[in-house]
Amino acid sequence: MAEITTPEEKSLNFLEEIIEEDLKSGRYKTIATRFPPEPNGYLHIGHASSICLNFGLTKKYPGYTNLRFDDTNPVTEETEYVESIKDDIRWLGFEWKNELYASDYFDQMYEFAITLIKKGLAYVDDSTSEQIAAMKGTPTEPGKDSPFRTRSIEENLDLFARMKNGEFADGTRTLRAKIDMSNANMLMRDPVLYRIKHAHHHRTGDKWCIYPMYDMAHGQSDSIEHITHSICTLEFVPHRELYDWLIEKLEIYPSHQYEFARRNINYTVTSKRKLLQLVNDKFVTGWDDPRMPTISGLRRAGYTPESIREFCDRIGIAKRENMIDVSLLEFCVREHLNKIALRRMVVFDPVKVVLTNYPADGAVEMVKSEDNPEDPNTAHREIPFSRELYIEREDFMENPPKKFFRLAPGQMVRLKSAYIIKCDEVVKDSNGKITELHCSYLPESKSGADTSGIHVKGTLHWVSVAQAISIEVRLYDRLFRVENPASEEGDFKDYINPNSLQVISTAFAEPALKNMRFNDRCQFLRKGYFCLDKDTSEDKMIFNRTVTLKDTWAKEVKKG
């Protein structure tokens, strides 16, 4: 189980320390951060951590956060993703200052490239990517200079302009920085800055056929926007030297890069590329399938923004990669839903109870029950109670073991918010299947006015047959069978949990559930927390289980 600390106990994280120092020393009066997604998929829970970090810092300190789409790769990007990313950030509760696109800076970046060429710091290389790789050397051996490295500035300017004008085919030439082929940092060995790609871009259309590489685009975009603290994940540590080199040589606004550890959660994958495979290969119904670790999937499953922010806050930020236990995320949503969810009764697998001593004239009485005992302002709802009820089939046992406190022949239980009942007779069909339980109720045991003097250990949820509504319930389990599918041998998709979705197409609910709306959350007593799914229609209400009431996996592990 992941360590749980309460937010009050936490000291400043290392970025807050840096920023407080920067503000104290007067280095900055205000700060600027950015969240820079590549629009090549939907955001996932790892991104939520980066969003909470970047936007959280400028909520805490004076300054602002930009949303910048890092759309320098024309092939994988789509407008659908841009829209979903904006929706998700807003839903999480954050608002950006400016909505920006790296592609808006393509002209400026082209000018930066010209500046480097003119300074003798970049050259056009006719080598293929294989040849460039072969000349790179190894971490212990220096690389070799490209034969094109000594081209004149004029020739480079001419060739780069012709690259831009579309005279050359994809992959035939690149623009490279002229740094040092024996640098200990492999990324400083004349990195490629521009490549030729005759591809349509979601914003710039067919204007460009050369596109800047990540290193040529990211720091420059930060600089153009005067980002003070450019926060990225640890794999970019070796890029920082190049980030600084480009800014220094171009003599532009000095943004600074800081790195924190990527957040990975167990029993899932957090990589847009892998999530896209799950969608394309139909292992899930879409990016917002409730089993997906995407923000839209979590939202559809019934997670609240508060619970995701709380989770990100609790895991904090670190400088070392580690795997976060998904049960911490579940813990956070359970805590929040416990406070806000309306309590309702739903029977998944019914068996009929007939109260033989209750009036047989169709009488219905209303019993009162709290909407949420955790909420002092809670209302009460009225639930119809009558002679014929449904209880959960598994709440009855004909030959119960010793500590079975639910219903059994001759045994008593309380029906939640109603009466104590006793089972007198079991009715079966010709196959031996139980069809009805004939019980008697204790009229003097009504909840709130109980004078029976009888104490029973078990309380069951129930619904009245005549007023019950039929609903569909979807129960989800973890999408993968193993903790870290991406690190297993073979394809990560081989480790999918085949039982991650269980559909109960006719569950019976108390009538109050009819009033549920899309943003409402409820607890089905003893079953977990639920929300309405978007597949709901006029004919059928469909509910997703967000999370069970207890951590059922912890139990599994203990059982071994």
Q: Does 37 bind ligand ATP (CB under 6 A)?
A: yes
> 1 vs 75, which CB is nearer to Mg ion?
75
Determine if 255 is a binding residue for ligand ATP (CB under 6 A): no
β-strands 210-212, 192-196 pairing = antiparallel
138 in a known ligand binding site: no
The answer to whether 272 is a known catalytic residue is yes
Element (H, E) at 263: strand 263-265
CA distance 112 to 118: 10
Q: Is 38 in the site for Mg ion (CB under 5 A)?
A: yes
Q: Does 271 bind ligand ATP (CB under 6 A)?
A: yes
Say how many CA atoms lie within 13 Å of 139 toward its Cβ: 1
Closest CA to 147 of 190, 113, 117: 190
Task: Encode 11-38: b = buried (16+ Cβ within 10 Å), e = exposed.
Answer: eebebbeebeebbeeeebeebbbbbbbb
Using the CB atoms, write b or e for 135-147: b if 16+ within 10 Å: beeeeeeebeebe
544 touching ligand ATP, by CB under 6 A? no
Classify residue 439 by its DSSP letter: E
**For Mg ion, which residue has the nearest CB?**
38
Question: Could you give the 3-state DSSP secondary structure of residue 191?
Answer: coil
Task: State the sign of the Cα–Cα–Cα–Cα dihedral 57, 58, 60, 62.
Answer: positive
The crossing angle, in degrees rounded to 10, of helices 240-250 and 106-118 is: 80
| Cα–Cα distance, 441 to 428 (Å, whole number) | 21
Compute how many other C-beta atoms are within 10 angstroms of the C-beta atom of residue 542: 16
Binding residue for ligand ATP (CB under 6 A) from 49, 304, 464, 523?
Answer: 49
Give me the residue label for tokens 């955001």: 43
Q: Is 306 helix (H, G, I), strand (E, B) or coil?
A: helix
CB of 449 to ligand ATP, least distance (A): 55
Helix or strand holding residue 543 (H, E): strand 541-547
Candidates 16, 38, 155, 483; catalytic one = 38
For Mg ion, give the closer residue by CB, 38 or 488: 38
The catalytic residue among 136, 144, 249, 262 is 262
The option from ligand ATP, Mg ion, none interacting with 546 (CB < 5 to 8 A, set by class) reads none
Residue matched to tokens 């060995």: 189
Give me the residue whose beta carbon is nearest to ligand ATP: 46
Q: Binding-site residue total for ligand ATP (CB under 6 A)?
A: 16
Candidates 10-18, 34-42, 467-475, 552-560 — which segment interacts with ligand ATP by CB under 6 A?
34-42
Give 249's contacts (C-beta < 8 A, 6+ positions apart): 116, 119, 121
Q: Which stretch binds ligand ATP (CB under 6 A): 42-50, 194-202, 393-401, 471-479?
A: 42-50
> Per CB under 6 A, does 102 bind ligand ATP?
no
CB of 259 to ligand ATP, least distance (A): 9
DSSP for residue 413: E
Q: Are 34 and 67 in contact (CB under 8 A)?
A: yes
Q: Residue 405: what are its φ and ψ, rounded to 5°?
A: -95, 15
The answer to whether 39 is annotated as binding is yes
CA distance 235 to 230: 14
Is there binding between residue 233 and ligand ATP (CB under 6 A)?
A: yes
Q: Residue 270 or 500: which CB sits closer to ligand ATP?
A: 270
270 binds ligand ATP (CB under 6 A): yes
> Which one of 188-196, 266-274, 431-439, 516-524 is the stretch in contact with ligand ATP (CB under 6 A)?
266-274
Residues 6+ apart with CB under 8 A from 372: 339, 340, 341, 342, 343, 378
Which residue's CB is nearer to ligand ATP, number 89 or number 232? 232
The window from 10-18, 30-38, 88-96, 163-171 that contacts ligand ATP (CB under 6 A) reads 30-38
263 near ligand ATP, judged by CB under 6 A? yes
Q: 253 vs 258, which CB is nearer to Mg ion? A: 258
Does 40 count as an annotated binding residue? Answer: yes
To Mg ion, the closest distance from the beta carbon of 276 in angstroms equals 12
Q: Does 232 bind ligand ATP (CB under 6 A)?
A: yes
Q: How far is the CB of 38 from Mg ion (least distance, A)?
A: 4
Catalytic residue among 173, 272, 299, 300: 272
Question: What's the CA gap between 15 and 260, in Å, rounded?
Answer: 9
Judged by CB under 5 A, which stretch of 32-40, 137-145, 174-182, 346-354 contacts Mg ion?
32-40
Known binding residues for L-glutamine: 70, 214
Residues tagged in the binding site annotation for ATP: 38-40, 233
Residues that bind Mg ion (CB under 5 A): 38
Question: Which residues belong to the active site?
Answer: 38, 262, 272
Q: Which residues bind ligand ATP (CB under 6 A)?
A: 36-38, 46-47, 49-50, 70, 232-233, 262-264, 270-272
